[in-house]
């Protein structure tokens, strides 16, 4: 990585090695951030063999004075049958704990989770009236200044976005005028770039099997060995995740084939979104890398709705047809990504509950699509509902490693985090299809999980710890947004003067500081070599 063109005082990413654990160590939990003026990064590990996985993280504390940020990076490894799990903080010395202490910690953790959930709901209920009052105050001030001729109007949504930007010290990373300037079609791609950098750019390197592509030259047919990266994008329209993966493969001269399915019409949760990946679609002369292409499926009924399993079956058939036409062996995906969401869920006080049907459908589809050894990345909003908890236990049994990451590019007020499942072990012999699996998860069928539920205790502790820390982060961020709205409203109401107040505004934290952050992360995430839009 070349840092020569950056200022001498520019902070650079630091490597945090996760501590190797002994098998006799028991779970230790550390306190999350208690203030909003320091950068903190927490790394959690669960492993079954005392091993660990090195991770990259980016310490920007010196670049963010008097601001706050939590970059959450968690990791979990599926256990062997006879080895207990351990949880630790990378920055905390571990000591043996008695079972009574561990039980007491769990009770306190559950109490704090419930308290945080209630506090977060209370703050969110105050956001809507606060943004309406702020917009009304801005418009009243403009009208007081300009009279009935005032054309400058603002909306509650615009005021909320302004306050949210003020509360997020990393807002410039995902905006079209910041790091994402002429690079990707939306901020989702930036989030995946963030995740990929943390994982040492390993997302597009998960091609362990060598496939054979057939090339015809006149009457002579020859076989050429190539590593073609295969990925599927579930509920990803307009296509930010796919765009990043395609561009990263193009940068590496890595042949790849991507496949996407996403809601194009409407369903019970709202309106879908059209794909905007014309530059990546299969068209003559459009393959920037030999053997690379992108295919969009509309499903069996033309809607692309993953709630309908026939659409997933059709998606699988189209993938196999495309591979056959390309002269590639029939195989499953190296990587599946699922970044689904909908409008009703975004403003809900219970995002996890509202989104659980979508999450379960994405998980079921991914299990059908992944090859053995493959990887899944899916967006979650928490793991406290019974159905999501059961699905996590199932995934825990059928993948080698689990990680949960809250990237710095994800707004701190959002409950979203990304679960990464490494090393798929294959479908169980009892697998009877996606709909059957979803039904088993919802009703809690006995055959779904191991009979001895105590094997999941450390996983449950891990999940609760992640949820606890992210709820703390969400609460601080939402309260900061609320404070920004209320302070602005109060200042406008109390002011005797009539300054011109713009509703559509971008709050500049410090343009020089933003440029430093943009430059730093462009290098750290290796974005300078990607094709621009």
Q: Where are the alpha helices (DSSP H) in 347-403?
A: 351-369, 386-398
pLDDT over threshold 50, residue 23: no
Whether this prediction's pTM lies above 0.85 is answered by no
Distance CA 30, CA 264 (A): 44
Instruction: Measure the N-to-C terminal CA separation of the chain; round to a whole number of Å.
Output: 24
Q: Residue range 319-331: average pLDDT?
A: 94
Q: Vertex 341, ends 476 and 514: CA angle to 5°?
A: 50
Distance of CA 332 to the CA centre of its chain: 23
- Residue 79 is classified by DSSP as P
pLDDT in tens, 336-376: 999 998 776 676 778 899 999 999 999 999 999 999 999 99
- Reported as a pLDDT band with limits 50, 70 and 90, residue 25 is very low
433 φ/ψ sector (left φ>0, alpha ψ -120 to 50, else beta): left
Contact 357, 307 (CB under 8 A): yes
Taking all residues of the chain, what is their mean pLDDT, rounded to a whole number?
Answer: 77
User: What count of other Cβ atoms lies within 10 Å of the Cβ of residue 497?
Assistant: 7
Looking up tokens 């959930």 gives 117
Alpha carbons 506 and 161: distance in angstroms, whole number: 9
Those residues with Cβ within 8 angstroms of residue 494's Cβ, 6 or more apart along the chain or in another chain:
none
- What average pLDDT does this structure show over 1-25? 33
Instruction: For residue 72, give the nearest of 395, 319, 464, 417 by alpha carbon.
Output: 417
* Cα–Cα distance measured from residue 451 to residue 48, given in angstroms and rounded to the nearest whole number: 19
Ramachandran sector of residue 501 (left: φ over 0; alpha: ψ -120 to 50; beta: rest): beta
Whether the CA torsion 94, 99, 100, 103 is positive or negative: it is positive
Higher pLDDT, 389 or 142: 389
Q: Which of 116-130, 419-433, 496-510 has the lowest mean pLDDT?
A: 496-510
CA angle, 146 then 152 then 153, to 5°? 120
CATH number belonging to domain 187-206+227-449: 3.40.50.12760
Q: What's the CA angle centered on 279, arms 195 and 379, to 5 degrees?
A: 30
Q: How many CB atoms lie within 10 A of CB 285?
A: 5
User: Do the beta carbons of residue 280 and residue 238 sit within 8 Å?
Assistant: no
User: Using an 8 Å Cβ cutoff, are 182 and 165 in contact?
Assistant: no
Contact in structure between 119 and 59 (CB atoms under 8 Å): no
Sign of CA dihedral 421, 426, 429, 430: positive
**pLDDT tens, position by position, 63-84:** 333 333 333 344 444 444 333 3
How far apart are alpha carbons 296 and 304 in whole angstroms? 9
What is the average per-residue pLDDT within 42-46?
46
Domain ranges of the chain: 14-97, 117-174+476-506, 187-206+227-449
Please report which confidence band the pLDDT of residue 377 belongs to, taking 50, 70 and 90 as the band edges.
Answer: very high
């Amino acid at each position: 990585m070349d840092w020569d063109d950056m200022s001498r005082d520019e902070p650079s990413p630091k490597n945090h090695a996760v501590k190797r654990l002994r098998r006799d160590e028991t779970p230790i939990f550390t306190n999350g951030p208690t203030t909003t003026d320091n950068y903190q990064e927490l790394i959690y590990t669960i492993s079954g063999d005392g091993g660990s996985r090195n991770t990259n993280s980016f310490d920007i504390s010196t670049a963010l004075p008097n601001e706050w940020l939590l970059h959450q990076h968690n990791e979990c490894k599926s256990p062997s049958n006879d080895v207990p799990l351990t949880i630790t903080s990378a920055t905390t010395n571990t000591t043996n704990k008695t079972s009574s202490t561990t039980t007491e910690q769990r009770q306190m953790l559950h109490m704090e989770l419930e308290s945080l959930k209630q506090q977060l709901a209370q703050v969110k209920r105050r956001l809507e009236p606060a943004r309406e009052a702020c917009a009304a105050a801005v418009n009243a001030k403009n009208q007081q200044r300009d009279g009935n001729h005032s054309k400058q109007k603002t909306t509650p949504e615009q005021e909320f976005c302004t306050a949210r930007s003020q509360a997020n010290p990393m807002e410039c990373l995902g905006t079209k005028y910041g790091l994402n300037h002429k690079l990707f079609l939306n901020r989702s791609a930036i989030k995946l770039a963030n995740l990929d950098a943390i994982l040492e750019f390993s997302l597009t390197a998960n091609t362990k099997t060598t496939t054979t592509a057939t090339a015809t030259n006149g009457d002579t047919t020859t076989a050429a060995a190539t590593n073609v990266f295969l990925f599927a994008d579930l509920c990803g329209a307009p296509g930010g995740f796919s765009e990043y993966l395609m561009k990263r493969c193009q940068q590496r001269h890595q042949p790849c084939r991507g496949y996407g399915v996403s809601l194009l019409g409407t369903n019970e949760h709202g309106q879908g979104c059209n794909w905007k990946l014309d530059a990546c679609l299969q068209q003559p002369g459009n393959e920037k890398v030999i053997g690379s292409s992108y295919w969009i499926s509309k499903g069996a009924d033309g809607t692309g709705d993953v709630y309908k399993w026939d659409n997933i079956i059709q998606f699988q058939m189209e993938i196999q047809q495309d591979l056959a036409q390309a002269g590639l062996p029939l195989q499953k995906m190296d990587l599946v990504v699922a970044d689904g969401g909908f409008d009703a869920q975004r403003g809900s006080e219970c995002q996890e509950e509202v989104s659980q049907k979508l999450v379960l459908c994405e998980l079921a589809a991914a299990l059908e699509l992944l090859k053995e050894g493959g990887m899944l990345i899916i967006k979650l909003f928490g793991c406290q509902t019974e159905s999501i908890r059961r699905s996590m236990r199932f995934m825990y049994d059928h993948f080698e490693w689990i990680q949960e990451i809250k990237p710095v590019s994800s707004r701190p007020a959002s409950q979203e985090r990304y679960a990464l499942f490494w090393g798929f072990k294959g479908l169980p012999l009892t697998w009877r299809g996606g709909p059957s699996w979803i039904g088993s998860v919802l009703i809690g069928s006995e055959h779904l999980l191991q009979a001895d539920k105590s094997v999941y205790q450390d996983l449950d502790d891990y999940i609760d710890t992640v949820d606890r820390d992210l709820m703390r982060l969400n609460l601080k961020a939402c309260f900061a947004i609320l404070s920004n709205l209320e302070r602005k409203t109060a200042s406008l109401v109390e002011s005797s003067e009539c300054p011109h107040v713009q509703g559509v505004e971008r709050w500049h934290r410090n343009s020089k500081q933003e440029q430093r952050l943009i430059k730093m992360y462009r290098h750290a995430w290796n974005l300078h070599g990607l094709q621009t839009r």
